[in-house]
A and B are shown apart, each in its own frame.
Chain A
């Protein structure tokens, strides 16, 4: 396959960026999207040009490092991560537009690499259960009903890639935040910190400069792990409940 790539190039956080055009040839439909970019970069290095910087690591769809907006869609046309997207999803002769995550709270570091440390700070604000090592009771001391355990797992699957933010017209981080709130709040182990967790995480999310949620639903459509939109309404319920209890 022969393709035309239009790629966002930006030297560093302070520099202005621009779209650059590259031609790549000999692309196999079996290549992953990132292997196609590897091919481009190998050519650029030999020519002495700066290769395109992008985040990636496991290339199995689980670490959450890769993060490209492809033809306007976070992670591209299939419901998966960029690393699991294959070139057979494109046609010979296509022009493909590749951009970084676009969101006020995710500043560009270089080219297609963005700073997602705001996510870490949301977790630090309360996305944990306080259980210092050594203090745990026997694992079977508390039975967890299977439906609750399954629900917790469904939310815990979030890989923290940020596609939800990139897809959201408001740049909101509600789906990411709600996934962690719901994972922990649904479990009996998470109950003691249930109120402070949701209040503190939402407050941190607002402080980081993420946009407000208008339930556009783009986040859940873009999520490669299928975190459902109802996650957000569950978190809103948790937040209201917590706000009332803390007032009392």
Chain B
């Protein structure tokens, strides 16, 4: 059987979401969940992998409740996870502006923004919890922007008509993460959290069908260790780095979720990736990562390219009537503020036509000349000064004088491990939170919603639902290193690392990462076709085979070895990439960030096929290069009725 002849398995019938009115479901679930007696909680150990917004907040909160938490991150400190780089803000339905916002409106906007591919029960809960998150963060001392009266300021963000985004200048993610890190630090000092920095999870231990621990490598000594627990929580982030170039941190990786997938956790909607429209274009082959410029720039900047192909004149020599302000032309009512997926695709289209600007023609102008004339240079500086400085530092061009050049880049992954309403994966005792799961954003995430989801999962959802699992599985047999399953998992991990070290070929881990990344960007990026995806699916196993013939990793496994870390992550990208392409191939509709060229309206907009594809695709692993099994979770819309999104 070839990889593309995937079998269809049993549909996912029980998401554990309670029935009844949507606004009562979360209360109902919390009431029906069994509790663990406070005195017994310290006897339970919970492993948390990752210390971003989701992991940091979950570790701190579980420890406050009395559980014994063992937590891991690959960074040297729990304060550095990539949540820290989020710029714009965090949404919450506080309605402080009295502008008609409500929990129901945030729920509605998120379901619609996700192009009707998310589970209503989860999204509604997220909107409900959003208001508590702001209270929690303020109490921790997060220095949100404030008005002169001392109350919290908000701003508006793409795709919505209310002002509900709370922010801390352009560093909201940093400030929220430090809040969670500090709460976690308090629990570490109290002895309730055992923190392992510079330690990377390499596999999941599943005994008698339940997640009971992980295998992890101490990145300083290289020692492979096992850790055991009553439940395992993955908060290891998204998988955008499969594309090599993305806005993710260099070491963000998919190993924890991919290894869990290999051990039985279904992977849902892997092809739903978000391409952010405003990033700084690449400058050459040496490029190691891409840098995002906040979406807020589109409030005042005008996006354009020359009308003529191959026009290489400097921008100030191109007269007004020879410029194409294409977003304003195609989408007169939303103009430069169309949602991310639409702005990204439009930029790709004009560059494909040969009208792109800058080196390699992979860029469009984001021009502030009109804004500077209208508001004055001082006002533009007050609003965007730090972003302009950052742009100038990277490109050596002054955006006050010369228009910025921007191009779309991979930014966020909506897909992830399939979870039920309790955020539990298909492996009992294994939970996934934050970007690592697939739960709330459907096929496209709205701006300022990632921070909201990470903290909702970590502070409020998981700590309530994991109780139920632990209470129903009170005393399990002790698992230790002598257990045959554990010995096998450790041996497999050791073998994989030894193999990487022993091939002694002639190509670096980065060279393979770049190769698969470029392939994914070309065929599974902003626009996808049946033929292109099939080409990628043919190529990926060949790259994988070549990898195991030609990989070169210097040094040994018993030391600090960054090449070995990297090579091991690339092993997993080479499998995940294949699943992403298969998912993109099977979903022959366009929706949100997933654009299939075969499925578009006459004006080139994404055309959903609700009768055929109104489901989440949860894939079950069957073996490397083997066709996975598709399990469908049908999506039911009782409150927000699917319509074709229109921004014209």
Contact = CB atoms under 8 A, between A and B. Distances in A.
Given A63-B85, A133-B57, A136-B138, A46 B506 contact: yes
B568 to A, nearest CB: 15
A133 B84 contact: no
The 5 closest A-B CB pairs, nearest first, are A143-B150, A128-B182, A136-B139, A131-B139, A124-B189
A207 B348 CA distance: 56
B182 A127 contact: yes
A133 B85 contact: no
B141 A183 contact: yes
B552 A38 contact: no
A3 to B, nearest CB: 14
Contact of A152 (B80, B143, B286, B555): B143
Contacts of A152: 141, 143
Interface of A: 11-12, 28-32, 34-35, 38-39, 42, 44-46, 48-51, 53, 55-65, 78, 80, 84, 86, 88, 109-110, 113, 115-117, 119-120, 123-125, 127-140, 142-146, 149, 152-153, 156-157, 159-160, 183-184, 187, 189-190
A109 B76 CA distance: 11
Contacts of A88: 396
15 contacts: A28-B284, A38-B286, A60-B292, A62-B174, A63-B80, A63-B82, A63-B84, A117-B77, A117-B197, A124-B189, A130-B186, A143-B149, A143-B151, A146-B147, A187-B141
Given A45-B552, A140-B96, A189 B139 contact: yes
Given A109-B560, A124-B188, A145 B141 contact: no
A59 B288 contact: yes
A140 to B, nearest CB: 6
Contact of A30 (B82, B284, B554): B284
A12 B560 contact: yes
A135 B175 CA distance: 20
Contacts, number: 215
Given A42-B511, A57-B82, 16 more contacts: A30-B284, A39-B286, A48-B554, A57-B75, A59-B289, A65-B76, A84-B394, A86-B396, A119-B77, A120-B195, A123-B185, A133-B61, A140-B151, A153-B175, A156-B168, A159-B174
B146 A149 contact: yes
A65 B75 contact: yes
Given A38-B286, A136-B136, A51 B150 contact: no
A60 B79 contact: no
A18 B294 CA distance: 43
Nearest to B463: A133
B308 to A, nearest CB: 27
A150 B362 CA distance: 39
Nearest to B248: A58
A29 to B, nearest CB: 8
B181 interface: yes
Nearest to A119: B77
Contacts of B507: 46
B140 interface: yes
A160 to B, nearest CB: 6
Contacts of A44: 554
B288 A133 contact: no
Nearest to B74: A57
A86 B169 contact: no
A120 B141 contact: no
Interface string B283-321: 110111101100000000000000000000000000000
Contacts of A84: 390, 393-394
Contacts of B77: 64, 116-117, 119-120, 160
Contacts of A60: 85, 291-292
Given A45-B554, A80-B393, A115-B76, A62 B144 contact: no
Contacts of A130: 186
Contact of A42 (B75, B459, B510): B510
Given A30-B284, A58-B82, A139-B94, A109 B220 contact: yes
